[in-house]
Amino acid sequence: MTNLLDLDAAGLAAFLADLGEKPFRAKQVSRWLHQRLVGDFGAMTDLSKSLREKLAAAAQIRGPAVVSDTTAADGTRKWLLDVGGGNAVEMVYIPEDDRGTLCISSQAGCALDCAFCSTGKQGFSRNLATAEIIGQLWHANRALLADGVSAEGRPERELLPLGGKAQGAKGALVTAPWVERGRAPITNVVMMGMGEPLANYDNVLSALTVFLDDNAYGLSRRRVTLSTSGLVPAMDRLRDDCPVALAVSLHAGNDLLRDRLVPINRKYPLAQLLAASLRYLDRAPRDFVTFEYVMLDGVNDSALHARELATLVRDIPCKFNLIPWNPFPGAAFQTSPRARILAFQKALMDAGFVTTIRKTRGEDIDAACGQLAGRVQDRTKRQFRIQPAPASPAIH
């Protein structure tokens, strides 16, 4: 059985063509799936009964298997999703006044093994399927709407006209009004959950096209951000295939240190990474790259590091997002003290770079960035592959 959440627009069109249906049916079905967020074919009331029956015989709409669903004191909500084989991934919804952001996972585990990352320490299990990536957005929107949450706090029934109300004057389907007015609970997606999205390129690309598709979630490219640790060839592919907003996990201003923190740097060192970031900007929806920089006590957070960093990226239109490191059991790092993070921020600002410090959200439910895998491991009883602590946290 085909899971319709596994199909992008082209896939859905091909699937319906195989059933002998015209291309416009794919758009109709896509709107039912991703705008009205229905979970069964019976609800697709403007499709003929025979088509609904054909769909039910050949396909299913299978969302994620939710293991747990927890809301933190600050409104951050985290879902743990079972992806089979003893693996689980997480997604996190972060509400703010003017937006609702969903942080999505792309892999179960990650092979890139960054020294400070809990997902990396878990090792790599497998790529998520397209349905498992799209299913995160589909499920989170449904769950939030069911709870009456939207960007404007509107209750579900006002937002999801079904059946007759979904018809235009001549019976044509109209886009659900909450999508037209940007009122879906989730207005922004960040691929910053578990895994390296560019290491699961094809499935992530299909999912991104659905996030952007006007007959699906209709998000603008500026509101979809992909974070990468620096898979240079895939950055170039993404630039050509689907240039969404880009965040690059820099974490160090020289190759010696970055080799240690982000091992993929040994393959694609800083000069290549920065050149690829510049190339990406030709097509990017924003005119800057966001550099993420995790603040590790005594490792990469000195005044010297800040100066080195500022010099390194001086020719690149960029912003910095400093991430206070989130601890997890067995890790050999500590979070930089607040005063040092502020000093680091000031040094970058003085050098002319817009620099924000990431607010830690949802700490009471372990939903903070980089903590995502920790409890999953507890649950699946996988072994940590903790590397020996560096002899001394050298400052390069």
Enumerate binding residues for ligand SAH (CB under 6 A): 114, 116-118, 192, 196, 227-229, 249, 292, 294, 323, 325-326, 369-370
- Give 21's contacts (C-beta < 8 A, 6+ positions apart): 51
Please tell me the distance from the alpha carbon of residue 371 to that of residue 394, in angstroms, as a whole number. Answer: 25
Positive or negative: CA dihedral 105, 387, 264, 117: positive
Nearer to ligand SAH, 2 or 272 (CB): 272
- Residue closest to ligand SAH, measured at CB: 370
Residue 369 falls in the annotated catalytic set: yes
Beta strands in 311-371 (DSSP E): 318-324, 355-357
Residue 110 falls in the annotated catalytic set: no
90 belongs to the binding site for ligand SF4 (CB under 6 A): no
Nearest distance, CB of residue 227 and ligand SAH, angstroms = 4
Among 94, 110, 252, 296, binds ligand SF4 (CB under 6 A): 110
- Give 378's contacts (C-beta < 8 A, 6+ positions apart): none
Phi, then psi, of 106 in degrees rounded to 5: -120, -20
Contacted by 90, from ligand SF4, ligand SAH, none: CB < 5 to 8 Å by type = none
Residues in a beta bridge with 124: 109
Please tell me the distance from the alpha carbon of residue 35 to that of residue 356, in angstroms, as a whole number. Answer: 33
Which candidate in 21, 53, 90, 242 is catalytic? 90
Q: Which two tokens stand for residue 271?
A: 């000069």
Q: Per-residue string for binding with ligand SF4, 244-283, x by CB under 6 A?
A: -----x----------------------------------
Nearest distance, CB of residue 169 and ligand SAH, angstroms = 45
Residues 93/150, Cβ–Cβ less than 8 Å: no
Cα radius of gyration rounded to whole Å, the chain: 22
Nearer to ligand SF4, 124 or 288 (CB): 124
21 belongs to the binding site for ligand SF4 (CB under 6 A): no
Interface ranges with ligand SF4 (CB under 6 A): 110, 112-114, 117, 119-120, 195-196, 229, 249
**Residues assigned a catalytic role:** 90, 369
